[in-house]
Structure 1
Amino acid sequence: MTDDDLAELRAQAGQGSQDALDQLVELAAERRDLEELRRFAAQGSTDAVDLLIELASERGDVEELRRLADGGSRTAAEVLAELEEEYGPE
């Protein structure tokens, strides 16, 4: 994807295109761009939250899971509890 393509997707997402937003979220996850995923999550993207949880779980990133759980993500809280049960609290 070129920079122009990315800029066009961002413009479309800014105008309310859910399809463009979904593509941006997927691209951010593929790049493992946590900052961009966090921005999308803060804007209300549940897909971005789910992908952040998935990436954090893969890395064993308890702090990211805790941040998401503290932000109201039940799934993050469940994953965090599972990790703590398996490995003990940090």
Structure 2
Amino acid sequence: MTDDDLTELRAQADQGSQDAIDQLVELAAERGDLEELRRFAAQGSTDAVDLLIELASERGDVEELRRLADGGSRTAAEVLAELEEEYGPE
């Protein structure tokens, strides 16, 4: 995907295109772009939240999981509890 393609997708997303948002969320996850995923999560994308949880879990990023759990993500809280049960609280 070219920079021009990304620019066009972002413009479509800014206009409310759910398809563009979904594509950008997937691309951000593929790149490991946590900042972009956080931005979409803050805008209400549950897919972005789920992918942040997945990436944080894979990386053992307890701080990110805690941030998501504190933001109201029950799934993040559950994953965090499982990690703490397995490895102990940090």
Identity of aligned residues (%): 96
Report deviation, 1:2.
0.2
Q: How far is the alpha carbon of 1:68 from its aligned partner?
A: 0.1
Q: SS where residue 89 of structure 1 aligns?
A: coil
Q: Report SS of the residue matched to 2:28.
A: helix
Task: Give me the whole-angstrom Cα distance separating, in 1, the residues matched to 2:32 and 2:46.
Answer: 17
Per the TM alignment, residue 6 of structure 1 is displaced from its structure 2 partner at its CA by 0.3
For structure 2, the residue ranges without an aligned partner over 5 or more in a row are none
Cα deviation 1:60-83 (Å, max 9, x = unaligned)? 000000000000000000000000
Runs of 4+ in 1 over 3 A off after TM superposition: none
CA distance in 1, matches of 2:43, 2:33: 16
Q: How many residues align?
A: 90
Q: TM-score, normalised by structure 2?
A: 0.99
Q: TM-score, normalised to structure 1's length?
A: 0.99
Point out where structure 1 has 5 or more consecutive residues left out of the alignment.
Answer: none
CA RMSD, Structure 1 to Structure 2 (Å): 0.3
Q: What do residues 5-54 of structure 1 show as CA deviations (whole Å, max 9, x unaligned)?
A: 00000011111100000000000000000000000000000000000000
Partner of 2:52: 52
What does 1:15-26 correspond to in 2, within 5 Å?
15-26=15-26
